[in-house]
Structure 1
Amino acid sequence: MRKGLTKIELANILGVTERTVHKYETRGAPNGSAQSLAAVLEFPNGYFSRSGAPDIEARAVNFRAGRSTTRRERDAALAAGASGMEVNSWISGHFVLPKINVPQLGEETPQLAAIMLREAWGLGTKPLPNLIQLCESRGIRVYGLPPLAEPVDAYSLWHGGVPYIFLARRKTPERTRFDVAHELGHLVLHKHRELETTSQQEDEANRFASEFLIPRDSIVEYLPRNPTVDDIFKIKNAFKVSAMALTYAVHQAGRMTDWIYRTTCNKLGQLGYRTGEPDGMDHFEQSKVFPQVFRSEKHGQVDVERIASELALPADDVHALTLGVQLRAVDARIPVRIPQVAASHTPEPREHLRLVR
């Protein structure tokens, strides 16, 4: 699954029958096959003698990209998630992680749930900080996805009482930030609501994310009615959301007429904001947990290679799962661009006028 192979494809590569591969998976493979399996699947030999790998059921997961993904990509994402849980167990066994604080608000509307979560986490109506670090501080484990699984964009689930978000960062930083908020919505709203349709849950997670990132009270506070494109640009950078997402939120809040909404969307499309985010965030939000793990020497030097070796996982997978935090050797011929991080400023609320008689 991790390598995107079917049983027939793996059987053909190994030179055995599909029935033999099925037997390997259900009853175990002979020790002599470990070397050939390791060579074909590019996993360490020791991986095939380990037991107790986490099992993630596909029906328990809503993939962010949904129907646009292939079975191979979804399988690869689930298999990578199982490895991520093993990495999390390793880290949890060596370090103390924040306690889980993710209230269950499935009985509320998505918008109200977002407001209640902001209140529970003491966030008010101001622009949110780094969302990955915010989730980590509340006990949510946020892991990356390897390249083959990236088309799913993101998914989340509860497993063994622990909330997880698995995240690809292949689009704009603003879109990825929305993906994190979307998956947070699933964790808050849908832990005990497995019987709903995927489309219903996806719609609810989207509405949660929009309200969580850009509360209606904030829209009233920071933007006038029928804001101009320049107004949208000013506030979208402060809230670190896409121009289109902010425009949609303003319209949904009843602060923009249908005609001005269509006109604004057309202008943004002409400027390239339908397919990208010109002059947007210049870097993806980073983890706080993984840098601390790799800097610590309390349990000896910790790096990607050590975790990979002790778990018998490919080092490249551990590198992707830990969001590429640890720098690794690159070809000196390949230029490396170091993004300049611009300081962000919280906009001042608009002055409110009141009638004096």
Structure 2
Amino acid sequence: MLNPARIEFARTRRRWTKTRLAEALGVKSRSIQGYESGEYFPEPEKLEQIANFLRFPVSFFYGSDLPRISEHTASFRSMSKMSASLRDSALSAGSIAFILNRWIESRFNLPEANLPDLSDLSPEDAAATLRRMWGLGEAPISNVIHLLESRGIRVYSLAIEAKEVDAFSVWHENTPFVFLNTFKSAEHSRFDACHELGHLVRDSHSMLHGKAHSPEMEREANAFASAFLMPRSSVIAHKPNLPTIGRLIDLKSFWGVSLAALAYRMNSLELLTEWTYRSLCIDIAKKGYRTKEPNPMRQEVSQMLAKVFEVLRGEGVGKSDIANELCLLVEDLNNLTFGLTLSGVSAAVALEGVPTKPTNQGLRLVK
């Protein structure tokens, strides 16, 4: 049976207003309201038009209700700068990730999340404590996405070409999810991921109970990310005698952070004078390094999804097969999975602790 809620969902995901859809269909806006409320159903030819305009298979509109993410349970970094339509589109992408993740978990054993509650600690102490608990010491984190996935956090991508959307995190069925905007630099995405990790370990109570995120919570999540990526003692030990832009460019690659984030961290630890920090900020802006990172890192991608796709490829399962089963387009899967392809995954990629469900022939898809 046609599900009216899915018409609204599809429209929201593609950021179409009711007026725009009505004009495209040649009907009144009141008709769209009727379609989405279930007051009456669109005729078959109108439904096909809706599917074409909103880029969803017709079969999508006959599915059950999709899981919804409340704006108050998700931790957006830039909520004040974001339009409602952009926010709702990003949240809808998260809902699609939930059904994709459920499909994957029905076939593979993935790490279970067991994140500590560090809400009683300051951001600096929480970052240091989590590093100790995870056995990271003071070493730089080579790949943030791989680290989060190994701890049971599901990481998906948001292919939303809008600077207002940095990242967001949310809990769903006791599983933490982090969504990263792939249009940001690798350094920016690493910081975003750690920012969201800060929310997951310090603000989970607020997230689970739908309490709005305050500016103070955002500042503290930034402080957590800074301390988690750049441990205090390590930054102090590597303090340059002459903190020039060139020297900081060398050091930023060591920790995998942006030039601006490194300068800010060194200043917060009182390793720079206010005059030096101000001069560095001016130079960074003049050279365009706030928008285009010097010596940029390669983008990080999901290791878990790469491993899953490797196994599926061996079983002859393509993304189109997954998309058909979930009543989605392949483009929606690509947008959530860092553009990873089932045919281009290296067999050398492996995710420790992520075996498939046991079978007699090793890594196989359970059918």
Q: Give the drift of 1:285.
A: 0.8
Counterpart Cα distance in 2 of 1:149 and 1:56: 20
- Matches for 1:17-96 after TM superposition, within 5 Å: 17-27=28-38, 29=41, 32=44, 33-96=46-109
Instruction: Tell me the secondary structure at the aligned position of residue 133 of structure 1.
Output: helix
Counterpart Cα distance in 2 of 1:269 and 1:298: 45
Alignment match, 2:8 = none
Alignment match, 2:27 = 16
Alignment match, 1:248 = 264
Alpha-carbon distance change, 226 to 61 in structure 1, aligned in 2, over 3 angstroms: farther
Instruction: Tell me the secondary structure at the aligned position of residue 294 of structure 1.
Output: helix
Partner amino acid, structure 1, of 2:280 = T
Instruction: Tell me the secondary structure at the aligned position of residue 118 of structure 2.
Output: coil
Counterpart Cα distance in 2 of 1:55 and 1:299: 33
Aligned pair partner of 2:153 in 131, 140, 149: 140
Alpha-carbon distance change, 153 to 39 in structure 1, aligned in 2, over 3 angstroms: same
Instruction: Tell me the secondary structure at the aligned position of residue 192 of structure 1.
Output: helix
Judge conservation of contact 2:72–2:213 (CA < 8 Å) in 1. Answer: no
Q: Give the drift of 1:40.
A: 2.1
Q: Give the drift of 1:197.
A: 4.3
Aligned pair partner of 1:211 in 210, 227, 242: 227
> How big is the alpha-carbon RMSD for the aligned residues of Structure 1 and Structure 2?
2.2
Identity of aligned residues (%): 40
Matched, 1:257 2:273: yes
Alpha-carbon distance change, 173 to 179 in structure 1, aligned in 2, over 3 angstroms: same
Counterpart Cα distance in 1 of 2:213 and 2:73: 12
Counterpart Cα distance in 2 of 1:261 and 1:299: 53
Q: Give the drift of 1:91.
A: 0.7
- Matches for 1:274-289 after TM superposition, within 5 Å: 274-281=290-297, 283-289=298-304
Partner amino acid, structure 2, of 1:220 = I
Aligned pair partner of 2:309 in 294, 298, 301: 294
1:6-44: CA deviations, max 9, x gaps?
A: 222222322333333233323373573532321221101
Alignment match, 2:139 = 126
Counterpart Cα distance in 1 of 2:289 and 2:159: 27
1:283-332: CA deviations, max 9, x gaps?
A: 20121111111111498323321111100011101011011011789xxx
Give the aligned length.
328
Judge conservation of contact 2:159–2:183 (CA < 8 Å) in 1. Answer: no
Alpha-carbon distance change, 305 to 178 in structure 1, aligned in 2, over 3 angstroms: same
Partner amino acid, structure 2, of 1:287 = S
Counterpart Cα distance in 2 of 1:204 and 1:244: 18
Judge conservation of contact 2:309–2:342 (CA < 8 Å) in 1. Answer: no
Instruction: Tell me the secondary structure at the aligned position of residue 178 of structure 2.
Output: strand
Judge conservation of contact 1:65–1:153 (CA < 8 Å) in 2. Answer: yes
Judge conservation of contact 1:165–1:183 (CA < 8 Å) in 2. Answer: yes
Alpha-carbon distance change, 149 to 157 in structure 1, aligned in 2, over 3 angstroms: farther
1:201-223: CA deviations, max 9, x gaps?
A: 21111111111111111111222
Counterpart Cα distance in 2 of 1:303 and 1:253: 50
1:105-134: CA deviations, max 9, x gaps?
A: 122111111111111111111101211111
Alignment match, 1:336 = none
Alignment match, 1:355 = none
Aligned pair partner of 2:330 in 315, 320, 325: 315
Matched, 1:202 2:202: no
The TM-score normalised by the length of structure 1 is: 0.85
The TM-score normalised by the length of structure 2 is: 0.83
Partner amino acid, structure 2, of 1:90 = W
